[in-house]
Structure 1
């Protein structure tokens, strides 16, 4: 084969002088898939590069030390000040209220000192010096706030609000906060004040949920290796500080992780589109070889071996595929430039636009491999067909599989494609499941196609001529049934899966969660105010149910004496070890908890510290009863032994904790209280009354209305859903293109059938009805498969992975059936109309 390669290439280039007729769908499918994969990865890398290049500004320093519920000790402050320039800030949630008490809103308070910001620029409108912006004027402190706060409370610059026990004047609107992305997701508008103002407000009390952040600007030229050394020294010198340390190279870890996961998911969706397009490649190759039957026969009659024919046309297919790949790469390379402006309103981080060769190379590799996988088998079948069969107009569409070598080659390339998909994925387990599901879907779809043909073959004889013709067309040799079901089935299945997942999430957020969730969360209730707070709630909402628990913040430092940095855990359990966790203590079993293993401690227990751990998370971390967990609380490491495991229903949105400790563990530790209020059937006016009275009576208590938080989550889900549906639509577009190609590839035999039937007396109406019924039956079978397969896949994701109730949506079912019927019947009839217009004489002469 290699010996004849130069000659095969020369003939391949000569034959291509006639143009790319018949390969438009081939080119479009390859270009779409390559553009989707290359574009998604290029955009993700542009965001990651932007985060890395602006790490100092996004973090607000070269290093960031965060402490929960306590300020740094004098020794810790002295250590940090000796490293470089230091800026201190504090973050907490609280309630901002109008001076007359008529309205209030939840705010994310950020208090800064005079050194802020160390990097980047704080932009406000109007622009004011920091002293004028935050300083005290005649007993009134200054502040800047997001536009959203001005809108919610109907304020303008110069208006006054109360925060805690103090009055603040909103002197500017906050335009740009350089380090906001490092503070994580905000559920409320930002209110920027000075540290002195926050301390004077009375909001910061012992046990208050406040984060104290210390940001460092190190001397110029400090390398990442030196920063790592500083981090190690800080851990060695203050082993019980419990601070979270981030550096400029990891400014926004949560954002980076989410971008990686999302880009992986979209890459897999793009790969699905490319694989769906691969069916179009197979159809196009079959149709092309069918048109070249005379040329192939001539080659064989002149002594050309089968390997020469295979090499010649494989070279042509790869040359044509390269055109589609290049077109897709051009689109992918342009995506970061277009996405930079489009994403600016959703992701407030800089993107570093440019060409990303690694992302483009991966997309090109996938494009070549998909082309080879789907081209090898039809090329292998074509080289086996004898010249006599070709001259008898039997075509190249030989049935069955080619020689074993070609089958093995196709399977080997498919294995490489699957391996690369998993290898380059962030979460290889999810990628492996996705790849396995795609392979399984191909097998099942092929079986469905054969099953539909078998049912049509065994169906009873019907009286309607059109229906009888339609059923015959479904199972006749060379029928379109397998190609149509395979091409449309994958795209529809993906669309159904994503639509059902999106629908279940929205239903859970907008319907189910509000029904079972409490109406309010109340945070930072001081121990001295717990009883009076409970009395106020009983008076204001007598029908409501109030649950209150003590609450602290703690960071898991060790598991069974091993530092958490050295513990390998699956991605789904890593969140427990990331950052601080809310923790509590209790004498008795919480009313919403069920023990799955072990026993609860006695009410008067006074032995070694014990902890009750959430069963699911314990399993993910590899913990069992008797293991130890070391938690840092208020700068002190506490080791507790796991006494029991609990089943926790996180979806209830009630008070749930991963860890509940025995009461003696935190004896004497300052803490606040957390409470929930459930008011079944409460109106907006009743909720507003509760919110107003709590805010006026207890200004330091933070009130979170659950519906408002769910609205924020719902908006995020909607934005993600839009992006996911857009990616899925690429797969559906590929399916439509492949469907069009499959129907076009069958036009030659359709012309013969139509001419013969018209010669025998069939009317145009009868033929159109027959073709319509054929496409309708195939489309209906495809829709049924997509609904079953997509429903199972969505149930697995929602029920098994997300641990949420799953329900099937009739709207999705009806939409899927409608889409399938419109596409198959519509596209089929467009092609059929041209078929019916052929003159009989030229066709009959060649029969």
Structure 2
């Protein structure tokens, strides 16, 4: 009894020693295994390390990125005397104002939209404004005669066709560009802008006349605290002392929340793509393990002849698989750790990312865990089948074809690993709902791919007899026992489907932005139209574009501060609705339902309504926020909290790019409140020359009105979309490379059977040419079948994402279909023939002796 117990305790040690001895022969047969694990692990480690690098940089350089310890931002109003006195008492203060406006050449020959930023002499409190030529901000913005100094982004000068030293007009002020901006310390915290930066002094802004009643201006008060460690306490005190101020408070510990959130979302998406590559690679792991154990039949049989139990045999090879997986994971972690350092060389000018090499243990640990779980999940089942190799296999070298279902412990082990893999992906996700959908789609794709393989096999088995021997042999290879059909379809199907999905989404978005949306969208948006200017503006624009349809609405800016009396900062909101509560929103009032929206629930108020304030809310956003009819919304407008009851929900067609608002209030809500107007003009037949003439006419007559040409904004969005698409395609390429590796592994796993088939056929008189044609036909058929699945699955996925999630028109793109078929055929036929070429040259005698 004691001997048996001692043997049982010594079994793991014995298994480990035997595993090490087996590995002395090298890793032959496991190169595909290593590549699949390393590739997926590197993708996940690299994406998460880069995300951690950006977040860590934002955290460590928060003061410089914010150019302050704490920032107070007010929309469309300056701080009251009481508020200003409180802010002044906190420490050194820098006051700035930001708005969009038009700048133009003095002769009126050209103009451009700018992100205007007016700063004082204290700017920046942290960091340095780098310019060319270098100089102090006070000197560069100083006034000489009647001309104010300015610094501008190089892109602005490029758009206007001028160089440094050029004079421009901004509103009613004349400015001279004394330098170009190389690096603005707080650009990231200010957020993304659709126009290049133009920086002027506060005096220049006052002289421009741009700031009027109702103008859309962000007044910012940045403070360098006497004791930066008290920043959290200062924020709490400010909210307590001025609960109705309506200001947005941001600290150096959260300098760029929008950027952090977007990086997190994008890294989650790329992590899921990397996980897809890892799961696809898991199929390669299973094939590699199966092929390796097939080559170890004689060793396994020898173990059993010497009395080794099946559990010891399984433990020996499980130990080998774990050790080899750890090698692959280590390679992947090294590559993943280098990705942020390499990416930083290209992203340093756009994102706050450190160029120093740094390790992020949590990101690497997560990738390692993903890799290990994937390796175990797909290796357990081949182990369960291999343990049943009989001792008689020592005397027969014919390759084993595992049949039947492995024992329940192995099935349970695989299920546990897969469940842990899915659970880890959901638990670490920013948006768990999306990760659940993604994992469900991958699981469904595996089931469908298996069904596709069975369908192809069934059709091949029941296909009519053909006269061509090569084609007949190819069809037989597709449905015979041990055929490569399931492996090939599974290998390429998921990778190609992912590529088709991303390509169709990208193509549809580009078509919508550059085609349909551009045709439906207004030609211009005009902002900051004063009440005294609206009639004259309408007349000038009507003369410049007589065929255009002018739409004008009153516009204010407000920030949602409470829902049903609950502070929005304490409310848990799904990611889809967070943008509504982040920052200020454009709001309006109207007697009738806006023409670009339709009532979804509730009723519109009468035109002469004079009761309690009512609001119409966008239906989709209301659903994200959990609102229902009768709920209340509190909005801070011009420093005053206004509470309105939700009277109805509207279906808003955001994709029209027309004038749309999340909230439309009853007219009595803002009776007497100062505000500006927002206008659009729509003329689909207007030429570029006519649009330019209209822009010059409006800018010359009303220099303080900001004009935004919609096509220019769409071009910027299209360029950004192209950059995102490049990153997404690179990630998807990882999944395709994993698919190719899996295909190569599947061919390697089937080479033993191919060798026997080729030798027997050659012995019976088949020529090498006949076999090449047979293999080519087989791979062409499988490639076409896989491409058809990828097109169908990718098209359905892209349609769902574009039409249901993005609510945009979706269409099938034939060029994507042709490219997908071409890639599928090149990969399957090319790799298939490359893998079987050695088989065709195999000598017959050694193989025939083993039969």
TM-score over 0.5 (shorter chain): yes
Residue of structure 2 equivalent to 1:106: 113
Residue of structure 2 equivalent to 1:193: 200
Partner SS, residue 632 of structure 1: strand
**Among residues 741, 748, 753, which one is paired with 1:749 in the alignment?**
753
Q: Deviations over 1:453-483 (max 9, x none)?
A: 1111121222221111111100111111111
2: CA distance between counterparts of 1:303 and 1:150? 84
Does residue 677 (structure 1) correspond to residue 681 (structure 2)? The answer is yes
**Among residues 205, 216, 222, which one is paired with 2:212 in the alignment?**
205
Cα contact 2:399–2:752 (8 A) shared by 1: no
2: CA distance between counterparts of 1:228 and 1:128? 34
Partner SS, residue 212 of structure 1: strand
Q: CA deviation at 1:161?
A: 0.4
Residue of structure 1 equivalent to 2:531: 527
2: CA distance between counterparts of 1:597 and 1:499? 37
Q: CA deviation at 1:3?
A: 4.2
Partner SS, residue 108 of structure 2: coil
Residue of structure 1 equivalent to 2:33: 26
2: CA distance between counterparts of 1:524 and 1:293? 80
- Which structure 2 residues correspond to residues 702-717 of structure 1 after superposition, within 5 A? 702-717=706-721
Residue of structure 2 equivalent to 1:800: 804
Comparing 330-339 with 579-588, greater Cα deviation is found at: 330-339
Does residue 540 (structure 1) correspond to residue 544 (structure 2)? The answer is yes
Residue of structure 2 equivalent to 1:299: 303
Residue of structure 1 equivalent to 2:605: 601
Partner SS, residue 187 of structure 1: coil
Cα contact 1:51–1:351 (8 A) shared by 2: no
Q: CA deviation at 1:126?
A: 1.5
Residue of structure 1 equivalent to 2:416: 412
Q: Deviations over 1:266-309 (max 9, x none)?
A: 11111111111111111111111111101110111111100000
Partner SS, residue 181 of structure 2: strand
Cα contact 1:47–1:351 (8 A) shared by 2: no
**Among residues 560, 577, 581, which one is paired with 1:577 in the alignment?**
581
Partner SS, residue 527 of structure 1: coil
Residue of structure 1 equivalent to 2:839: 835
1: CA distance between counterparts of 2:591 and 2:268? 45
Residue of structure 1 equivalent to 2:126: 119
Residue of structure 1 equivalent to 2:724: 720
Residue of structure 2 equivalent to 1:131: 138
Residue of structure 2 equivalent to 1:491: 495
Does residue 455 (structure 1) correspond to residue 459 (structure 2)? The answer is yes
2: CA distance between counterparts of 1:391 and 1:664? 95
Residue of structure 1 equivalent to 2:816: 812
Does residue 51 (structure 1) correspond to residue 58 (structure 2)? The answer is yes
Comparing 837-846 with 90-99, greater Cα deviation is found at: 837-846
Residue of structure 2 equivalent to 1:637: 641
2: CA distance between counterparts of 1:164 and 1:458? 79
- Tell me which stretches of 4 or more aligned residues in structure 1 moved more than 6 Å: none
- The alpha-carbon distance between structure 1 residues 348 and 147, as it changes in their structure 2 partners (threshold 3 A), is farther
Q: CA deviation at 1:390?
A: 5.5
Cα contact 2:129–2:137 (8 A) shared by 1: no
1: CA distance between counterparts of 2:690 and 2:626? 46
Does residue 395 (structure 1) correspond to residue 402 (structure 2)? The answer is no
- The alpha-carbon distance between structure 1 residues 237 and 527, as it changes in their structure 2 partners (threshold 3 A), is same
Partner SS, residue 528 of structure 1: coil
**Among residues 149, 158, 173, which one is paired with 1:142 in the alignment?**
149
1: CA distance between counterparts of 2:274 and 2:350? 22
TM-score by length of 2: 0.98
2: CA distance between counterparts of 1:81 and 1:351? 37
Q: CA deviation at 1:349?
A: 5.2
Residue of structure 1 equivalent to 2:3: none
- The alpha-carbon distance between structure 1 residues 437 and 468, as it changes in their structure 2 partners (threshold 3 A), is same
Partner SS, residue 523 of structure 1: strand
2: CA distance between counterparts of 1:445 and 1:797? 21
2: CA distance between counterparts of 1:20 and 1:2? 29
- The alpha-carbon distance between structure 1 residues 49 and 352, as it changes in their structure 2 partners (threshold 3 A), is farther
Q: Deviations over 1:593-624 (max 9, x none)?
A: 21111111111111111111111111111112
Cα contact 2:496–2:820 (8 A) shared by 1: yes
Unaligned 5+ runs, structure 1: none
Q: CA deviation at 1:670?
A: 1.0
Comparing 444-453 with 66-75, greater Cα deviation is found at: 444-453
Residue of structure 2 equivalent to 1:79: 86
1: CA distance between counterparts of 2:113 and 2:651? 32
Residue of structure 2 equivalent to 1:566: 570
Unaligned 5+ runs, structure 2: 1-7
Cα contact 1:47–1:352 (8 A) shared by 2: no
Q: Deviations over 1:317-368 (max 9, x none)?
A: 1111111111111111112211111212432555664011111111111111
Residue of structure 2 equivalent to 1:588: 592
2: CA distance between counterparts of 1:278 and 1:131? 61
Q: CA deviation at 1:79?
A: 0.4
Does residue 36 (structure 1) correspond to residue 33 (structure 2)? The answer is no
2: CA distance between counterparts of 1:678 and 1:293? 76
Residue of structure 2 equivalent to 1:182: 189
Partner SS, residue 177 of structure 2: strand
Residue of structure 1 equivalent to 2:362: 358
2: CA distance between counterparts of 1:2 and 1:216? 67
- Which structure 2 residues correspond to residues 425-504 of structure 1 after superposition, within 5 A? 425-504=429-508
2: CA distance between counterparts of 1:477 and 1:388? 22
2: CA distance between counterparts of 1:13 and 1:302? 19
The total of aligned residue pairs comes to 844
Residue of structure 2 equivalent to 1:62: 69
Cα contact 1:561–1:630 (8 A) shared by 2: yes
